[in-house]
Amino acid sequence: MGSRVEILNDGGYRSDGRRQFELRDITINLAQQGQADGSAVITHGLTQVLVSVFGPREAKMRSQTIHDRANINVEVNVAAFSTGERRKRSRGDKRILEIGSTIKSTFEPVVQTTLYPRSQIDVYITVLQQDGGLLQACINGTTLALTNAGIPMADFVCAVTGGVHSTSALLDLTTLEENDVPHVTVAMMPKTGKVALVTMETRLHVERFEEIFRLAGEAGKVLHKEMKKAVMGRTSTLVNAMGSRGSGVDRDGDEQMNEL
């Protein structure tokens, strides 16, 4: 165990220089991506996912239509180059399917699907880089892409991973930490304070759970501010571009959308 990295050292720093309750750097790009109706690229540290949303549109297959609401279809694709070891994952990979279905069930109650009966909303997630917190990045990215596509939702869904190293809680884990530390991913809705998803694959002591759960909820609120700012920035760019006093200033690093 000698050469292993210390998860949390005596000075209270984690292996990447963060403290216990510091989240990784987050960047959000809401620019138009190809044909998608809404898309988002979100980066948590070195984890990056691209989410594209199509719809609501007519379902391709009649069998998949639901008569009173829209069907959400989530497909996850992990790029072969996303991890250090180049590895091609087939679409039928159970882990990937699981992430997809987790996201689907997270968003079904949040998206106002009843407004679009007999239609389908397609969410395509491409994982570009992985360094821990894959699910949280996918969920946050999906929230942003859906918002960007103008699909009505009850609230934002903000997800954060929390873990516990011996007795001290950590937030937003990297791969290194995820391998070593039991962790929970919590997706919450900041306005109502409701929890959309709690998922855990490792064993965590019952008594630690409460603290982690609470902290991850708090962290969700912090993330919400960041995500809201990005959405507001993007929207005001678009509004400015459409309106008369369009300054054309690119506020969010987005491409200029003068043709709109």
Partner 1 sequence: MEKITIRKRPRSEAVITQRKFFKKTARGKVIKVLRERYLRDDVACGIQNCIACHSSLDSTLPVAGAPHPLFPDGHFVLPDTNVFLSQMDLVESPLFAPPIILLQTVMEEVRHRSLPLYNRLKALTKMDEKKIWVFYNEYRSETAIIREENETPNDRNDRGIRKATEWYNTHLQVTRPPIRGQPPPKIPTVVLMTEDAANRQKAEKAGMSGISVKKYVENLPEANQLLDLLSATGSDEIEPTRAAGIRQPLYPEYLPTATLIAGVKAGELHQGHFNANQYNYLEGNVPVPGFNKPVLLIGRENMNRAVNGDIVVVEVFGESEWKAPGDEVVDQDTTLKNDDVEGSEDEANESDDEVTARESRLTKSEETVRAIEKQPTGRVVGIIKRNWRAYVCHIDSTSLSSQNATSLAQQTVFATPVSRLLPRIRLRTRQAPTLIGQKILVTIDRWDVNSRYPEGHFVRALGKVESKEAEQESLLLEFDVRYRPFGKAILECLPPEGEQWVVPPKSDASPDWRDREDLRQLLICSIDPPACQDIDDALHARSLPNGNIEAGVHIADVSHFVHADTAMDKEAADRGTTVYLVDKRIDMLPALLGTNLCSLRPFVERLAFSAIWELTPDAEIVNVRFTKSVIASKAAFTYEEAQIRKDDPNQKDDLTQSIRLLNALAKKLKEKRMKAGALNLASPEVKIQLDSSESSDPIDVEQKELRETNSLVEEFMLLANISVAQKIQETFPQTAVLRRHLPPPKTNFEKLQDILLKRKGLRLDVSSSGALADSLDKCLDPQEPAFNTLVRIMATRCMLSAEYFCSGSVPRDTFGHYGLASPIYTHFTSPIRRYADVLAHRQLSASIGYTSLHPSLHSKSHVERVMDVINRRHRMAQMAGRASVEFYVGLALKGRNEREGKGGVREEAFVIRTFRNGLSVFVSKLGIEGLVMFKRDTKFDAENYTITVPGATSRSEGVTVAVFDKVVVNIEVEKDKNTQRGKVKMTLVSPVDSSGL
164 binds partner 1 (CB under 8 A): yes
Cα distance between the two ends of the chain: 58
Look at the block and give the residue holding tokens 């506020």.
Answer: 251
Task: Provide the β-strand partners of residue 126.
Answer: 50, 77
Rg (CA), the chain: 19
Query: What part of residues 36-95 is at the interface with partner 1 (CB under 8 A)?
Result: 45-46, 84-85
Q: Phi and psi of 44, rounded to 5°?
A: -110, 105
Nearest to 140 by CA among 47, 16, 206: 47
Interaxial angle between packed helices 94-107 and 134-148, expressed in degrees from 0 to 180 and rounded to the nearest 10: 50
Please report how close the Cβ of residue 28 comes to partner 1 at its closest, in angstroms: 12
Site for partner 1 in 8-27 (CB under 8 A): 9-11, 13, 15-18, 20-27
E strand spans, 59-204: 71-78, 119-129, 158-165, 168-171, 183-189, 194-200
Q: Which of 151, 189, 197, 215 binds partner 1 (CB under 8 A)?
A: 215
Instruction: Report if residue 223 touches partner 1, rule: CB under 8 A.
Output: yes
Cα 55 → chain centroid: 19
Nearer to partner 1, 44 or 234 (CB): 44
- Give me the sign of the Cα torsion angle 150, 151, 155, 157: negative
# binding residues, partner 1 (CB under 8 A): 42
Q: How far is the CB of 16 from partner 1 (least distance, A)?
A: 5
Cβ proximity to partner 1: between 23 and 151 the closer is: 23
Least separation in angstroms between residue 204's CB and partner 1 is 9
Q: Tokens 């909820």 correspond to what residue?
A: 217
* Nearer Cβ to partner 1 (195/222): 222
Structure tokens given for 119? 């239609």
Site membership for partner 1, residue 137 (CB under 8 A): no
Q: Which stretch binds partner 1 (CB under 8 A): 62-70, 212-220, 229-237, 241-249?
A: 212-220
Which of 2, 61, 62, 210 touches partner 1 by CB under 8 A? Answer: 2
Q: Which residues bind partner 1 (CB under 8 A)?
A: 1-3, 9-11, 13, 15-18, 20-27, 45-46, 84-85, 129, 131, 164, 166-167, 171, 174, 176, 203, 205-208, 215, 218-219, 222-223, 226
